[in-house]
Amino acid sequence: MAIEIHWIRDDQSLAAHCSDWRQLPFVAVDTEFMRVDTFYPKAGLIQIGDGKRAFLIDPLLIGNWQPLADLLEDNGVVKVLHACSEDLEVLLRLTGRLPQPLFDTQLAAGYLNLGFSMGYSRLVQEVLGIDLPKGETRSDWLQRPLSDTQVSYAAEDAVHLAELFIAVRPRLSDDKYAWVLEDGAELVAQLRRDVEPEGLYRDVKLAWKLAPQQLAVLRELCAWREREARQRDVPRNRILKEHSLWPMAKSQPSNLAALARIDEMHPRTIRQDGEFLVQLIKRAASLPPEQWPPVLPEPLPIEASGILKQLRAVGQAEGERLGIAPELMLRKKTLEALLKSGYPNGPYQLPDSLRGWRRERMGQALLNSLAGAGETR
């Protein structure tokens, strides 16, 4: 059956359609973008599905995104997306807003125990019985005109995404539907939290092995790299390779020759930013001790793996009881944060990352499990 496609190529048309969409209970939202040599994704197409038709918004021709921003933040209209982390970045970049309430069909599949982290084509096949053609994911979505194949692919995505919502919503209990929306709100909150550049050093591999003075250097290097990547709109590794950060903080090269000997140091970086980096390292290294970050906690020892497995079992048991994909229950990072809060002898504290229904249903069971582990050691 041919899909009814409507193009939106000017501000007036976008405003009129957004006004119409705000009268609906839900809209499906999808994006096509390019992200090859840039920090930020470049939007090539925005698709909206209303359950019957596909609307294709050409972002290269739109100047005023306020109507779409207002739609995204309209609490009366559920926004349906699939595996939406990159879509959220595209929408935030274009409109300055993020969708709420957000229903992610990939999450919904997990809550229905259809599978964890299911791809879009597989979910469409599983729920709707439709075999989608091979994707156009490698297409140039910034080219104009778009090919007929691209247009068809984009329109199908919008229509079938809406159909997925219509099909899976009745299969979710009210509790599970609320939990999908809760997880959607958390995805949005994570993007809004957007870690400050000065906090990124904590994520560098082996950063816990560095002394506080070396961590001060690492902190400044990571913050500079992040800001420059955003400002120049290039990938972080084009500014400074990930694997160069730790040895720079450790050895603190004081001239260009020493800098050039750092692992994976690109000659282009030496040419463009070498002198600046040497000075940055010198300044960060000479900060007074009261401005040094504290030592980072060591990773959990290998002996803790058994307790982590025990904690995962709490989530798996609850997942089985509720008919939810076990991988959706408790994140590894959350369990590690819980264990680190008091390892090895306690007391333990539930981490902030354990929120909402998961905290209510499993928080006490996790603490009880740790108390039991302490008794058996």
87 noted as active-site residue: yes
Q: Which residues contact 148 (CB under 8 A, 6 or more apart)?
A: none
Helices (H), 98-142: 105-111, 120-128
State the Cα–Cα distance between residues 219 and 185, nearest whole angstrom.
30
Tokens of 22: 């705000």
Ramachandran quadrant class, 32 (left: phi over 0; alpha: psi -120 to 50; beta: rest): beta
Tokens of 19: 């006004």
Q: Are 106 and 184 in contact (CB under 8 A)?
A: no
Q: Are 13 and 55 in contact (CB under 8 A)?
A: no
Tokens of 254: 């004081």
Find the helix or strand (DSSP H, E) in which 166 lies. helix 148-168
343 noted as active-site residue: no
32 noted as active-site residue: yes
State the Cα–Cα distance between residues 240 and 23, nearest whole angstrom.
48
Find the helix or strand (DSSP H, E) in which 13 lies. helix 11-21
Q: Catalytic pick from 89, 136, 157, 336?
A: 157
C-alpha angle 55/61/65, rounded to 5°?
75
Q: Catalytic pick from 89, 111, 120, 153?
A: 153
Residues annotated as part of the active site: 30, 32, 87, 153, 157
